Structure 1
């Protein structure tokens, strides 16, 4: 083997996956067609669950504290994201170029080899490996690996070469978008006009991002981004304003096509991010959805390559993420109708606006957009945390108090014995010993989150709780998620 895993695509999803694979001890090569990192920022929002995962891996130490805005939306209707049950409520404004820079630095520091200017042109699966051909700066390059993961966007070459079906609905609505310097127009947040909808948001650097949709215009086949003149003309028709004198820094178009790969795994080929699902990037959900794919897949694929994964662990990536994404896509489809529909959806928008004044409804939708409502089917039990993310809390052991999120930075499993005394710790320590090479035991009492006191929690490397009990036996769950114990 030339490497153990090949990741195709050095966008945020591919880079986070490469970092996770290296954290799990797997040799990883990233192949990227572009010769240099992109400077344009398609996405600019990190939601709460992504921020939590970045916190678990220590990435927030490097990212700092980005600007935060709790004023979210559902299909253009105001939705408060600032009151959610998380350490990171709201919408964190980070340009995609910065997210990529952060994740590239982390992947590189952990030892991933990022090869830019390598466009994948061929892929063949064999019983014990995958062979990938890429066109590099000096000619063709042929690499062999145990697995390959396509993180190469909605027009994924890996998905096409692996012949993975990509069913769904074609687009019938389109939004034109541009970052423009040198214009001075009123700020707009999903403002509706007789013939369309417009958004204008000025960044601190003076650049204004504009987005415009015309109700009566249907998408046209595109082989590249639209000309800025097309965006300016649409803006003038909808708003009556002239932005044609501005300097376009970036122009693109996106639509409401909705597709999802039939399988996220086919043999030794896997898909993540936009390669696995295509959706309108409304509310910043597309990027965050893909990053959560990488968080779910990374440790499982590393376990598979390292040889300790249970038989069905890698398949659980599809089993868990496919239904989560299917649900998110349904929500995005609903939002696209509310946001981009013409006068025919005015009644629907009025009903939704009324429903969103109800706390229960608004909270439910806000948790979904933020990614906080995910609960994987991890096994029997009725504990409220089972399958859900581990909440942040302070853990006290003796005279020391530590943040439980820091305990997940190693990318290993975690058994939390929250009884706080030696007698309560001795049993889980003995039960965990055969898995000590891949799961850590930490004992203490919650300084916050007192309702967890006395419980034992088994937490996967991605931060999801897979077993919770009071003086129960964690060994069946350890086998289910962390494989056979040492010596077996």
Structure 2
């Protein structure tokens, strides 16, 4: 009997998808060519809507170790501009500091709780598909074998073998002018600014913490994490990498090149893993399509871009949650026609938005007095509240809406907090009017009916990915409009 879904890749996006599928009652199997968790230090946290999404699933509490709800951050950054988000009445920008290894470990633990089968040391090497199944060739520790599944999802990164085997193009642009050098370091205690928490550089000034700092020769990011680790990143435009292995000394020289003064840096202390990474150039690429028959892509397999502002996991994890319920509905037989196609229709534009704004930021942090002049103008624009709001919505992903409704501005937006109700991953009807039971009754095999206080609406129909499919602020909503939304997203009643 074929598996429901084979997922290639056990990074955060593949594991999140596996959890979503298991919540919906389908059988995924996760194949990962690594035999142990990666020691490479990659993302340092989460930014944007994904923080609230994890909270809706009860996973934010697992990562933080406490029951406090996420709150917006008072400031963030865009192209090395500090954003005074505290000036917004309801900032959409949420962040959470957590190394990617911790995020992966949490999601792997959750997947195991949900009964997901995971195979380490197993790599996809080939695929063929027909109208009914996809046959996946796998190379495992005991040799090659084959799996049959109804669908295959590539969550295997920017060099995705799944994407290549499916023949999906990955066009984009290459930037070969930058070198990014990052490492965990120690700095003398006397250089830590007690007021801002930043790095006080004699002869230069203060490098603010957790923000990008631009000069006309490069970019610096100083991050003193609460766990005692200090990460320093330096991006240069005219200082090519050498042939020798990257060292803390090279990072020190790059920092002096950007700031014009020397800063004493030492090797990291304490338990690792510690980052020591040098990257030359960068790619911005977007898959030509997110689906080829029974093969689909999520995360970096579908899009790669600059890491400026940390949008990668925000984009990829939301890909996974958007795809999960639609794929599960298709497998379980109640999906309306075309539901699975809405995955690409909704998420590829989100990928386009992220690649657009990361490319724009790359220009705004570039070297030279002409860019400095552009930054002066852009900085003036950021003083306008409407512009600040627009940028905050953009970097958080809060500008993404899936459709609209004349009955309520909440329709198409990310759902307000409904408490534990969204942890099930099931569609929800929030009926605070007591008038919709008869209209929704035929769908209650797949849609849960709940009550919960919601500002701005009397009733909501909520998709499993926590976006509002339908909403009304009327005391007695039109039942036929609800039935239309139920059919559109959750199929015909049984």
Task: Establish whether TM, by shorter chain, passes 0.5.
Answer: yes
1-side partners of 2:38 and 2:137: how far apart?
23
Question: In 2, Cα distance between the equivalents of 1:466 and 1:460?
Answer: 6
Give distance in 1, aligned partners of 2:221 and 2:42: 15
Q: How many residues align?
A: 461
Matched, 1:458 2:461: yes
Aligned to 1:246: 267
The correspondence for 1:300, drawn from 326, 329, 333, is 326
Secondary structure of residue in 1 paired with 2:152: strand
Q: 2-side partners of 1:229 and 1:243: how far apart?
A: 10
Q: Helix, strand or coil: the match of 2:285?
A: strand
Match of 2:428 in 1: 414
SS in 2 for 1:121: strand
Please, which moves more after superposition, 355-364 or 193-202?
Answer: 193-202
Q: Write out per-residue CA displacement over residues 104-125 of structure 1, whole angstroms, 9 at most, x where no aligned residue.
A: 1111111111211112221222
Which residue, 276, 287, 292 being the options, matches 1:261?
A: 287
Q: CA deviation at 1:312?
A: 0.4
Asked whether the 8 Å contact 2:460–2:468 carries over to 1, the reply is yes
* Alpha-carbon offset, residue 226 of structure 1: 5.5
Q: 1-side partners of 2:241 and 2:150: how far apart?
A: 40
Paired residues of 1:385 and 1:468 also in contact (CA < 8 A) = yes
Deviations 1:331-380 (A, max 9, x none): 111111112343331111111111111111111111221122211126x5
- Does 2:444 match 1:436? yes
Shift of 1:228: 5.8
Does 1:105 pair with 2:109? Answer: yes
Q: What is the TM-score with the length of structure 1 in the denominator?
A: 0.87
Contact 1:51 1:88 in 2 (8 A): no
Tell which deviates more after alignment, 151-160 or 313-322.
151-160
Cα contact 1:320–1:377 (8 A) shared by 2: no
CA distance in 2: counterparts of 1:92 and 1:85, whole angstroms: 20
Residues 252 and 300 (structure 1 numbering): CA distance in 2 closer, same or farther, change over 3 Å?
farther
Compared CA separation, residues 483 and 258, structure 1 to 2 (3 A): same
Assess, with a 3 A threshold, how the Cα gap between structure 1 residues 85 and 140 changes in structure 2: closer, same or farther: farther
Q: Which residue of 1 aligns with 2:163?
A: 159
Structure 1 residue 362 corresponds to structure 2 residue 388: yes
CA distance in 2, matches of 1:415, 1:2: 33
Deviation at 1:382, TM superposition (A): 5.3
Q: Is residue 412–residue 461 contact of structure 1 (8 Å, CA) maintained in 2?
A: yes
**Which segments of 5 or more consecutive residues in structure 1 lack a partner in the other structure?**
393-403
> Does 2:402 correspond to 1:376?
yes
Inter-partner Cα distance in structure 1 for 2:367 and 2:127: 41
SS in 2 for 1:101: helix
Contact 2:57/2:424 (CA < 8 Å) preserved in 1? yes
> How far did 1:195 drift?
2.8
The Cα offsets for residues 234-279 of structure 1, whole Å up to 9 and x where unpaired, read as 3343344366752564324264421111111110010111111111
Query: Quick one: which of 377, 383, 388 aligns to 2:413?
Result: 388
Would the aligned equivalents of 2:41 and 2:275 in 1 still touch at CA under 8 Å? no
The C-alpha deviation readout for 1:143-163, integer Å capped at 9, x for no partner, is: 111111111111111111111
Equivalence map 1:166-315=2 (5 Å):
166-184=170-188, 187=199, 188=207, 189-217=211-239, 230-239=250-259, 240-241=261-262, 246=267, 249-253=275-279, 255-315=281-341
**Contact kept? 2:246, 2:276, Cα under 8 Å:** no
- Corresponding residue of 1:124: 128
Cα distance in 2 between the residues matched to 1:141 and 1:33:
14
Q: CA RMSD in A?
A: 2.7
Aligned equivalents of 1:355, 1:74: Cα separation in 2: 13
SS at match of 1:409: helix
Maintained 8 Å contact 2:223/2:230:
yes
1:395 is matched with none
- Scaled by the length of structure 2, the TM-score of the pair is 0.86
Q: Which residue of 2 aligns with 1:396?
A: none
What is the aligned partner in structure 2 of residue 478 from structure 1?
486
Cα 1:36–1:104 change in 2 (3 A) is same
Distance 1:83 1:195, change over 3 A: closer
